[in-house]
Amino acid sequence: MKGLRRLYGLGLLTVILTVAACSDSDDTLPTVEAPATYTFERNGQSTVSFSGQTTRIQMATELVSAMKDFDNSTEALLLEMFRNETANGGDANPFSNADLNASTKSVRSKTGASKDYFFTNATEAAQIKADFEGWISAQVSEVFPAENQIATPGNPGQLADGSSTRYVNGKGLEYDQAVNKGLIGALMLDQMLNNYLSVSVLDEADNRANNDNEVLVEGKMYTTMEHKWDEAYGYLFGTAANAADPVATIGSSDAFLNKYLGRVEGDPDFAGIAQEVYDALKLGRAAIVAGEYEVRDAQAAIVRQKLSEVIAIRAIYYLQQGKNALAQDPPAYGTAFHDLSEGFGFLYSLRFTRQPQGDMPYFTKAEVDGFIQAVYGSTNGFWDVDATTLDNVSGQIAAKFDFTVAQAGN
């Protein structure tokens, strides 16, 4: 019994690992008891590390904010924030946080870069990076010069949205929202579901044998497999005020996956989803400690399903909210286009979802491209979209899951 030889203190709680008695069912899994919080230690020292994920979330946060700084941002600066090619003493120093300027990490390097989806798909991986760089560049070349103009079909500019002002391109899209919500899928979700929680990454090379024998990464307190799981955790909870126990503040830690898991948690139709994801990540990590890989993989499947649902729910939500704003008399274009811009980013992020079992996304690239074409692809983009189209796309998304358009859209 693997678990019985791998007992050690996990924070203030000692995890007791037991193996369930065998039965006639092939579905019986060993029993692994997770700690109360995401706290794992070896010889009195923490084995949890996800600093790289925290860094990239912080870089992405500064990038999205800078895309709305008409007075100080340039195309070169924004692209450097995405690429971070002059780290460690370079001249650019694009970030306000000196630690980010010193880091060799970048948002771009992990965007559309998962092992399972893009390692052998270099063409699409390159196109994904080009999409983000195109949106960043267009913000400066198209939207910045039109800052003080009123947007009209075919012409970029500003639109009122209550007390806020939205800055859109000629088709009504806010490029900063495309980048923000697109990174939720192309960076956070893709790295979590299709890279670090993937069997191909967790069990790569000698990872299983080394984990079983507690062979640690040189100079570290963790095994490679433990660290890979932690890196997945970091893309969701890496900037939480209490990263070991983050559910109480879910939604407040960043403007990416954490925020929108919190938004879905706040909908009574989906209440409890944040705890389910957290519990699965916590139990999966405990299963790695125990060397119980079937339990680990079962928890990864839960995370895949639930976080994929978050993307789908929010895509539908924003399409439906945009539809409602367009139905006002007169249409509330600023409100509608802001919602549809967020919806655009979540539609883009559907490409990076993953079904619980196997290595297939819920939506193919062709399906996602079709959704975006239907909503945004006409000559004037959002100015032309109608309620029937928004309902049709919403329905196609909901059909892949066990919730309705009405549940997601309210």
Q: Tens place of pLDDT for every residue, the chain, 410 residues?
A: 454 435 444 443 333 434 333 333 346 889 999 999 999 999 999 999 999 999 999 999 999 999 999 999 999 999 999 999 875 544 578 999 999 999 999 999 999 999 999 999 999 999 999 999 999 999 999 999 999 999 999 999 999 999 999 999 999 999 999 999 999 999 999 999 999 999 999 999 999 999 999 999 999 999 999 999 999 999 999 999 999 999 999 999 999 999 999 999 999 999 999 999 999 999 999 999 999 999 999 999 999 999 999 999 999 999 999 999 999 999 999 999 999 999 999 999 999 999 999 899 999 999 999 999 999 999 999 999 999 999 999 999 999 999 999 999 99
Find how far residue 339's CA is from the centre of its chain.
Answer: 19
Task: For residues 243 and 241, give the distance between their C-alpha atoms in angstroms, rounded to a whole number.
Answer: 6
Helix (H, G, I), strand (E, B) or coil at 115: helix
Residue range 28-39, pLDDT digits in tens: 889 999 999 999
Task: For residues 53 and 250, give the distance between their C-alpha atoms in angstroms, rounded to a whole number.
Answer: 17
Task: For residues 81 and 61, give the distance between their C-alpha atoms in angstroms, rounded to a whole number.
Answer: 10
Task: For residues 366 and 405, give the distance between their C-alpha atoms in angstroms, rounded to a whole number.
Answer: 22
Report the relative pairing of strands 17-18 and 13-14 from DSSP bridges: unpaired
Structure tokens at 389: 């189209």
State the DSSP H helix or E strand holding residue 101, giving kind and residue range, or none if neither.
helix 98-102
Tokens 């195109």 found at: 134
Closest by CA position to 61, among listed 5, 111, 107, 116 = 107
Amino acid identity of residue 330, one-letter, is P
